[in-house]
Structure formats: structure tokens, C-alpha cells
């Protein structure tokens, strides 16, 4: 059986970013995000129905400030009590799982897309994607960047402006570019 380009992306295989199905999904996302980002009822109601319908899963008591951006939406899975501050962008070409109670400061960037280093390959319009998993009760400070394939363990803290290129252990506090452990949390 032949895999779709979306299936290839989720499997971490090279896929064609200009595939019509993927292009249609990105267009649908832009429409849903426009509705969400222009909504004036967010204070009372939380995420708009357009955004709820877009995502792979959204738990209870999720709040996503505007503006918010994602690539596909269907690859984004949010647990309960998740808070995403304004200006966050999630390039969910691969799966992104965010655990219960996790919080994100303004302008956090989450990238699953991996472009070829070779310029000839890059010009062909293919890329791969690496899933990102964020545990429970994780706090990611403003303007931090999570690079493809990273796993953030439960209770991890990522300092503002940090660039995470490697997994972060549970209960670790990381800061810097690249992010390094500066403290371990207890209890």
C-alpha cells in the first residue's frame, strides 16, 4: 500500500511539502486560525470552535491566546489545563504532544520540520519531520525554541529565550543556546 505524504511525514520519512492534500490542510488551518485569532470572545469562552475542530485533540480547560499559529493542527494533541500565551507558533508537520498542566510563555516556537542540509536535496521540496513530546506540568519560557525530535520530561522548565536541541529530563531546569541543565527540581 502506498503511503500518503501526511503518513510519510508522521512516520519520519521524506515527504513532498507541495502535495495537494497537505496544501489543502494548510489552507484550512489558515482559515480556522484567522477565525480564532480575530475572535473577541476568548476571555469567556477559551479557544474557538474552529480551533477545537482543527486540532488532533484538545483537553479540558485549554486556553490559547491570540495570535496563535500552527502548520496543520491535526498533528497537535493538547492535554488538560494547557496554557499557550500569545504569539506561539507550532510547526506540527510531525506529531506534537503537550501534557496536562503545561504552560508556554509568549512567542514560543515549536518546530518538527527538518529540511535537508544539502542544497540540491532541499531544492527538491522534500523534508522530514520529527515528533516532539512535552510531558506534564512543563513550563516553557517566552521566546524559547524547541527543535525537532526533542522530549521534555514531566515538570521540566525551559528558560526564556532558550534553544532546546536535546531531550530535557524530568524535573530539570534548562537555559541558554543551546539549552543546558542549570538545576534539578526536587519533589
**115 part of the active site:** yes
Between CA 96 and CA 42 the distance in angstroms is 23
Give the position of cell 489543502.
24
Element (H, E) at 45: helix 42-45
Q: Is 146 helix (H, G, I), strand (E, B) or coil?
A: strand
Chain-centre distance for alpha carbon 129: 12
Of 98, 127, 179, 99, the residue nearest 6 (C-alpha)? 127
Q: Which of 60, 115, 124, 183 is catalytic?
A: 115
- Residues with a catalytic annotation lie at 115
Amino acid at each position: 500500500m502506498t503511503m500518503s505524504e501526511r503518513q510519510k511525514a508522521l512516520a519520519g520519512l521524506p515527504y513532498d511539502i507541495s502535495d495537494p492534500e497537505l496544501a489543502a490542510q494548510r489552507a484550512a488551518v489558515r482559515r480556522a486560525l484567522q477565525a480564532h485569532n480575530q475572535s473577541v470572545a476568548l476571555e469567556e469562552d477559551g479557544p474557538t470552535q474552529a480551533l477545537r475542530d482543527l486540532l488532533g485533540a484538545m483537553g479540558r480547560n485549554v486556553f490559547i491566546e491570540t495570535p496563535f499559529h500552527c502548520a496543520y493542527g491535526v498533528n497537535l494533541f493538547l492535554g488538560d489545563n494547557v496554557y499557550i500565551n500569545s504569539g506561539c507558533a507550532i510547526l506540527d508537520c510531525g506529531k506534537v504532544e503537550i501534557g496536562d498542566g503545561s504552560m508556554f510563555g509568549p512567542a514560543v516556537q515549536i518546530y518538527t520540520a527538518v529540511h535537508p542540509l544539502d542544497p540540491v536535496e532541499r531544492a527538491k521540496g522534500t523534508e522530514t519531520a520529527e515528533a516532539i513530546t512535552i510531558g506534564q506540568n512543563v513550563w516553557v519560557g517566552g521566546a524559547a525554541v524547541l527543535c525537532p525530535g526533542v522530549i521534555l520530561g514531566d515538570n521540566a522548565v525551559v528558560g526564556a529565550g532558550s534553544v532546546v536541541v536535546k531531550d530535557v529530563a524530568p524535573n530539570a531546569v534548562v537555559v541558554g543556546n543551546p539549552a543546558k541543565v542549570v538545576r534539578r527540581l526536587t519533589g
